[in-house]
Amino acid sequence: MRRIWGIALSAVVSVGLAGCQRSGESAGDPAAASGRPGAAANVTAERLLNAASEPSQWMTYGGTYDEQRYSRLTQINRDNVKQLGLAWFADYDTNLQQTGTPLYIDGVIYVSTAWSKVYAFDARTGKQLWQYNPKVPGEWAVKVCCGLVNRGIAAWNGKIYVGTLDGRLVAIDAKTGKEAWAKRVIDPNYRYSFTVAPRVVKGKVLLGPSGGEFGVRGYIAAYDAETGEEVWRFYTVPGNPADGFENEALKKAAATWGGEWWKLGGGGTVWDAIVYDSVNDLLFFGTGNGTPWNQRDRDPTGGDNLYLASIIAVEPDTGEYVWHYQTTPADTWDYDATSPMMLANVVLDGKERRVLMQPSKNGFFYMLDPATGELLRATAFTEVNWADGVDMKTGRPRVRKEARYSEGKPFNGLPGAQGAHGWHGNAFDPETGLLYIPTQHAYFPWVEDPKYAPSDVGFNLGIDFAAQFTYYQKNPKAPKDFVGFLQAWDPVAGKTVWRGEINEGPTGGALATAGGLVFQGGGRSQEFRAYDARTGEKLWSMQAQTGVLAPPISYEVDGKQYIAVSVGGNQTQGYYAPNYSRLLVFTLGGTAQLPPPKEYTERPLQPPPATAPAAVVEAGRARYSQYCAACHGENGQTRGATFPDLTRTPLLHTQEGFDQVVLKGVLEEKGMVSFAHALKPEDTQAIRAFIIARANELKSSMPAGGAAAPPPPRDAHQDPGR
Alpha carbon distance 351, 344 (integer Å): 13
Q: What are residue 530's DSSP bridge partners?
A: 519, 540
- Candidates 325, 414, 71, 45; CA nearest to 203 is 45
Torsion of CA 478, 483, 488, 491, to 10 degrees: 50
Give the C-alpha distances (Å, rounded to integers) separating 45 from 9, 48, 49, 115.
50, 5, 6, 29
d(CA 245, CA 233): 13
Instruction: Please tell me the distance from the alpha carbon of residue 277 to that of residue 283, in angstroms, as a whole number.
Output: 6
Residues comprising the chain, all counted: 722
Q: Kindly give the residue spans of alpha helices, DSSP state H, lying in 228-357.
A: 248-254, 295-298
Rounded to whole angstroms, how far apart are CA atoms 53 and 584? 26
Cα angle 407-408-409, degrees, rounded to a multiple of 5: 95
First to last CA, the chain: 19
Residues with active-site annotation: 334
Question: What DSSP character marks residue 364?
Answer: E
Identify whether the C-beta of residue 548 lies closer than 8 Å to the C-beta of residue 526. yes
What pairing do the DSSP bridges indicate for beta strands 70-71 and 510-513?
parallel
Measured distance CA(129)–CA(473) in Å, rounded: 53
Residues 196-226, buried b or exposed e (16+ Cβ, 10 A)? bbbbbbbebbbbbbbbbbbbbbbbbbbbebe
Q: 53 CB contacts (<8 Å, ≥6 apart)?
A: none
